[in-house]
Amino acid sequence: MILDITDIGHGGVGIARHEGRVVFVRGAIPDERVEAELTSSRSRYATAVVREVVQASPERVTHPWPEGVAGVTGAADFGHITLAGQRALKERALLGNLRRIGGQELLETALGLGLSVGAVDDTDGWGSRTRFDVVKLERGVGMYREGTKELVPITSMPLALPELERLIFDPAWDREIAPGTRVHVVGPASGEDVVVADRVYTAPGREGESHIWERATTERDVFDYRVSASGFWQVHARAPHTLLRAVMKAAGVQPGESVLELFSGAGVFTVPLAKAVGPTGRLRAIEGSQRAVADAKANLAGMPWASVRMARIDERTVREVSADVVVADPPRTGLGRKTAAALAKSPARIVLVSCDPAAMARDVAELVAGGRTVESMAAFDIFPHTHHVETVVSI
């Protein structure tokens, strides 16, 4: 099909129309004309992927990683767009989701607060990831083709730190890791880089420790964290520092206050929040992963006024919140309508960290519907060359 791309949609897809139906096009940029191949078709919409650009956007560049393009692995699905163009599209998608899900008033609130997508460093965005996942093949490694279970061999990983790229493409791994094994490659803040498969390695044939050390800083403090080698940590080298500073500013925690943290992970926000409230305050953290809870407990050692427990987080968890501040960093699915609505009834200041524009818009809309007022909104490009964007909202 020859399609004219008119807008950008959720998930970074271009939007076009063909014979009365909406077509969501991977690899397209608004204002382009493209030849696209149909990938699925339903009664009201279809999906497609760009095969040839007929009329290119001025923001289009040559993608430096053919294996990462939309329609192949999609690991760098915005890599064909200039960095400035990527951020403009992410901002457009953020605002579009706020309008579509939250309504015109919420959109105007965001515009009034100057919502934009900010860079977290001055690099070109490549070589910034401190971790990534691949699957071991008979020879080398691969990633899944978008929307399938087909493994595509890859020969490079330009999103990652160069030393991680060199580590994982060592052919000696063919003798060490069984085909089909999911492999997690990590470059911690300090110590040796590791490859996590059936065990933790620092090199082929050399085992490493089960935990690594990460770091996040504010303008005044440096925090070091023990994290399971296979556990969650932000992927961009600058993301922990950027998000920590944004959360602490938005939370405005004072000594003696009480804080409830939801989806606390290994404690990247928990430890600084606990230090901020001090011995006269109280911090309670809740997390759904047993492994992350163990890490957070280790990182909170020496602060008896702070506690963390494992529990399912839903509307029942927050129904009777007793805290001055609530910080929530849910997974991509967000808080959910019921949990957000229940949290809106709390008198606490709320800081919401989101990695999905649609989930963020839905959660913020529920909080506003419950009587809250948005105080600040910030967005950060911690996933360059992909459609993903992180937001921090105080409400």
The residues annotated as belonging to the active site are 355
Residue 296 to residue 309: CA distance in whole angstroms: 9
How are beta strands 2-4 and 14-18 bridged, if at all?
unpaired
Amino acid identity, position 283: L
76 within 8 A of 66, measured Cβ to Cβ = no
Residue 371 to residue 46: CA distance in whole angstroms: 38
306 within 8 A of 279, measured Cβ to Cβ = no
Bridge partners, residue 152, by sequence: 143
Q: What are φ and ψ of residue 153, in 5° steps?
A: -60, 140
234 within 8 A of 247, measured Cβ to Cβ = no
Which DSSP string do the residues of 246-261 spell out, in sequence order? HHHHHH---TT-EEEE
Residue 148 to residue 308: CA distance in whole angstroms: 38
Four-point Cα dihedral 154, 157, 158, 164, nearest 10: -150
Evaluated on CA atoms 161, 329, 310, 251, the torsion sign reads positive
Residue 81 to residue 58: CA distance in whole angstroms: 9
Helix axis angle, 83-97 to 357-369, nearest 10° = 30
